[in-house]
Amino acid sequence: MPSFNDRNLIPRGLERCSLQGFALRLAPWLLLFAFGAYCIYLCLRFGLNQTNMDNRFAFGLWIFLDLTVIALGAGAFFTGFLLYLMKWKALKSVINSAVIIGFVCYSGAMVALAVDVGQPLRAWFTFWHPNVHSMLTEVSFCITCYLTVLAVEYIPILLKNRKLKQIPSFLVFEFELHKVIPVLAAVGTLLSFFHQGSLGGLYGVLRGRPFAYREGFAIWPSTFFLFILSAIAVGPSFILLTTKLAEKLSRKPLVRGGVYQMLGKTSGVLLTVYVALKSVDTLIWLNKTSQAAGFTPFEFYTFKPFGTWILFAEIVLLGLVPALLLLSSRMRARPAVLTGAAILACCGVALNRFVLTIQTLALPTLPFDEFLSYFPSWQEFGVFAAVLAYGVLVYAVSFRYLPLFPDEKQLTAPVETEELEYVSRS
Amino acid sequence: MAATKKHRRYGMVVDIDLCTGCGACMVACAAENNVAPAPERATDRTGITPMRVYPVHNGAPGDRRQTAFLPLMCMHCSEPPCESVCPQQAVELDEATGIVTQMPQRCLGCRYCMTACPYHARYFNWWDPQWPVGMEATLNPTVAPRSRGVVEKCNLCASRLHAAEDQATAEGQPMPATYVSACVEACPTGAMVLGDLDDPDTEAHKLAKAEGTFQLLAKLGTRPKVYYHSSRPWVRSLSERNAKEQAHA
């Protein structure tokens, strides 16, 4: 029986491991995905009683996951914005990877959201009976439209596959698509901008939850702007981390060093602005907004384990520290510091999303309320795992069969070039 | 001449000093609104109790300890934080009655309204509603049961209001200034009063204006239409979270 070989599907000039080795590495992720798919089935078939959420903890792990992956996926639209609109040409070497990361993050969040609602089949009601005053309506419209944009942006990368390229009409289609990519990047930037913001607004508008409620500008609470800023600050860091991880796992250089510096510096500058504005916002909230609602400053931090340490960790340890590290060109030049700071920045945004989603619900509002705790069920973790495994699988398959990093060929081939020159001279 | 329809602003006043915590209002509410029996796995945080009586005490030790009972339901806020957040207009403040209505048929089950409500007066249907064989016969035909995966809450017995309206119309009368909800009917001590808060002739209006009456978390700006009344200062301190004389659950 002839054994199947995928050599012809791998881009020309790129080295990839054997198909067996690839399958072996993906097997654990496939298993995890299968387990997660079973959990999704349980939740859809038997309802949300499969979770540990309840009437008081109405949002849980999944909303935290959605907000975090979408913040990390911001690298897609922001890289597109910098490359196509600001003409930062060096970012061309990571744009394909960024688009796939964005696609994975957004589609993963979409799946988690579909499982998270009690009546998924009524999702279209939001488009049919939209409440224009609801931040969730804005979230639904933006996430749907932007996911469509990301899918369209994914197509030209998909059509670069060696086999697909052989079909002439696909080649023409890809060529035509390339012409509108800057337009898509602009549309994507606008949509994602509002999407990130409306996710922040989701909690910021809750005046019944003084821990989350913020005043702001016009109809938007300050969290609207802070979410946009924090997302575009850590987006490049996440692109940096995923690219470094891909380099480590494939044991190949994929991009030139200058790109990492550029991504790190962008993150650093934006993170510094974010930390400054977040600090001002926190001071206004503690001294004015929460007091006006009848809540004393720091009352929120009297419930263990959510003491003031969480505020310090969010703003200083995982905000200011990575911001300063990424700002300094001397520190940034050290690969370990660059990676470490990017990890801290990503953890910071995850903690910010955790605080706003989970801590908000844990804290009491009524005078006779108690502090609440919640721990997700295995089914909730399963759905989380499915989204994670789905992301790894899509990225791994794309990395193997599509030219994700345009510089890879050049960076991995210098030995061959020298050899050729030697052969021609002799 | 046909009676002209007048807008009402229905609300409730609960005299905490009269409440004995018997729970009759909770049972009556569940029976009236076809709330299915809770499944075995349900907890006090996953069950459906549109009317819920909270026991509270003054925090004092020994014989100085005092206990009170606080029936909590949807506050039918005039500035409802749940209405503006619903993505598909399943929540509505009825301008004609002041009642905050929930349309389970349109609810997506996203539970955003539940996170928005500071009174925790909204409940999610975590399970399919099921009644033991024979118990279907006790269902109230004027209220539709809700399916799994949607949010529900107190609607101030809207079906009873409709019946009262129909009767008033038949008699050529304007919209009634008061009607009897299931909880009000069931309360053995008459601790609850329901009526048009804007009509100076109703008892609800008078009690809402009386000394010792308060609203829960008034500083949040939700303008609740459910008021509480007590002659005891420590009970009145329940109005705000950080009041000096704090009560305990």
Q: Residue A119 is nearest to which of B43, B150, B242, comparing CB atoms? A: B150
Q: What is the pLDDT of residue A202?
A: 93
CA distance B8 to chain A (A): 25
Q: What is the Cα Rg of chain B in Å?
A: 18
For residue A287, being part of any structural domain is answered with yes
Give the domain extent around A242. 22-410
- pLDDT exceeds cutoff 80 at B3: no
Question: Whole-angstrom Cα distance, residue A59 to residue B112?
Answer: 8
> Alpha-carbon dihedral of residues B16, B20, B22, B24, nearest 10 degrees?
-50
Q: Residue A58 is nearest to which of B111, B222, B242, comparing CB atoms? A: B111
Backbone angles phi, psi at A216, to 5 degrees: -165, -140
Architecture in CATH of B10-239: 2-Layer Sandwich (3.30)
Q: What is the pLDDT of residue B248?
A: 53
Question: Whole-angstrom Cα distance, residue A425 to residue A418?
Answer: 11
Would you give the DSSP letter of residue A191? H
Q: Inter-chain contact A134–B148, Cβ cutoff 8 Å? A: no
Q: What is the pLDDT of residue B211?
A: 94
Categorize the per-residue pLDDT at A356 as very low, low, confident or very high, splitting at 50, 70 and 90: very high
For residue A4, being part of any structural domain is answered with no
Categorize the per-residue pLDDT at A137 as very low, low, confident or very high, splitting at 50, 70 and 90: very high
Backbone angles phi, psi at B138, to 5 degrees: -90, -5
For residue A340, being part of any structural domain is answered with yes
Q: Inter-chain contact A367–B122, Cβ cutoff 8 Å? A: no
Give pTM, 2 decimals: 0.92
- pLDDT exceeds cutoff 90 at B95: yes
The contacts of residue A146 (CB under 8 Å, 6+ apart) are A77, A106, A188, A191, A192, A195
Categorize the per-residue pLDDT at B243 as very low, low, confident or very high, splitting at 50, 70 and 90: low
Q: What is the pLDDT of residue A297?
A: 74
A321 CA to centre of own chain: 21
Q: Name which residue leads in pLDDT, A24 or A415.
A: A24
What is the pLDDT averaged over residues A364-375?
90
The contacts of residue A42 (CB under 8 Å, 6+ apart) are A50, A379
Q: Are A321 and A344 in contact (CB under 8 A)?
A: yes
Q: Where are the alpha helices (DSSP H) in A124-217?
A: 125-128, 135-158, 168-204
- pLDDT exceeds cutoff 60 at A188: yes
CA distance A100 to chain B (A): 28
Structure tokens that stand for B217 in this block: 């978390």
For residue A16, being part of any structural domain is answered with no
- pLDDT exceeds cutoff 70 at A187: yes
For residue A97, being part of any structural domain is answered with yes
A386 CA to centre of own chain: 16
Q: Which of residues 160-179 of B touch A (CB under 8 A)?
A: none
Q: What is the pLDDT of residue B1?
A: 40
For residue A55, being part of any structural domain is answered with yes
Q: What is the DSSP string of A252-284?
A: S--S-HHHHHHHHHHHHHHHHHHHHHHHHHHHH
Backbone angles phi, psi at B214, to 5 degrees: -145, 165
Q: Are A255 and A407 in contact (CB under 8 A)?
A: yes
Report the share of chain A in percent with pLDDT over 90. Answer: 64
CA distance B127 to chain A (A): 6
Q: What is the pLDDT of residue A2?
A: 56
For residue A294, being part of any structural domain is answered with yes
Please list every residue in chain B whose beta carbon sits closer than 8 Å to the beta carbon of residue A131.
Answer: 84, 86-89
Question: Whole-angstrom Cα distance, residue A218 to residue A196?
Answer: 17
Q: Residue A140 is nearest to which of B39, B43, B87, comparing CB atoms? A: B87
Please list every residue in chain B whose beta carbon sits closer than 8 Å to the beta carbon of residue A123.
Answer: 108
Q: Inter-chain contact B249–A370, Cβ cutoff 8 Å? A: yes
Q: What is the CATH number of the domain that holds A49?
A: 1.20.1630.10
Q: What is the pLDDT of residue A118?
A: 94
Question: Whole-angstrom Cα distance, residue A235 to residue A78?
Answer: 7
- pLDDT exceeds cutoff 80 at A411: yes
Using one digit for the tens of pLDDT, what is the confidence trace for A233-247?
A: 999 999 999 999 999
What is the pLDDT averaged over residues B182-186?
97
Structure tokens that stand for A40 in this block: 């999704």
Categorize the per-residue pLDDT at A321 as very low, low, confident or very high, splitting at 50, 70 and 90: very high
Using one digit for the tens of pLDDT, what is the confidence trace for B211-221?
A: 999 999 999 99
Q: Inter-chain contact B116–A48, Cβ cutoff 8 Å? A: no
Q: Inter-chain contact B88–A57, Cβ cutoff 8 Å? A: no
Closest C-alpha among B25, B60, B18 to residue B231: B18
Report how many domains make up chain A. Answer: 1
- pLDDT exceeds cutoff 80 at B132: yes
Tell me the Ramachandran region of residue A383: left when phi exceeds 0, alpha when psi lies from -120 to 50, beta otherwise: alpha
For residue A15, being part of any structural domain is answered with no
**Burial bucket for residue A21 (CB in 10 Å: 0-12, 13-18, 19+):** exposed
Q: Residue B88 is nearest to which of A126, A205, A364, comparing CB atoms? A: A126
Question: What is the value of ipTM here, to two decimals?
Answer: 0.91
Beta strands per DSSP E along B123-208: 123-124, 151-152, 192-196
Q: Inter-chain contact A49–B46, Cβ cutoff 8 Å? A: yes
Q: Inter-chain contact A47–B126, Cβ cutoff 8 Å? A: yes
Categorize the per-residue pLDDT at A294 as very low, low, confident or very high, splitting at 50, 70 and 90: confident
Please list every residue in chain B whose beta carbon sits closer than 8 Å to the beta carbon of residue A55.
Answer: 45-47, 114, 120, 122-124
* Lowest-confidence pick of A160-174, A258-272, B26-40: A160-174
Please list every residue in chain B whose beta carbon sits closer than 8 Å to the beta carbon of residue A361.
Answer: 115
Please list every residue in chain B whose beta carbon sits closer than 8 Å to the beta carbon of residue A294.
Answer: 217, 219-220, 240-242
Q: Residue B86 is nearest to which of A131, A293, A299, comparing CB atoms? A: A131
Q: What is the pLDDT of residue A199?
A: 93
Q: What is the pLDDT of residue B2?
A: 43
Please list every residue in chain B whose beta carbon sits closer than 8 Å to the beta carbon of residue A125.
Answer: 88, 106, 108
What is the pLDDT averaged over residues B222-237?
95
Structure tokens that stand for A3 in this block: 């054994």
CA distance B178 to chain A (A): 29
- pLDDT exceeds cutoff 90 at A204: yes
Q: Which of residues 188-247 of B touch A (CB under 8 A)?
A: 216-217, 219-222, 237-243, 246-247
Q: What is the pLDDT of residue A406?
A: 87
- pLDDT exceeds cutoff 80 at B4: no
Mean pLDDT of chain B: 92
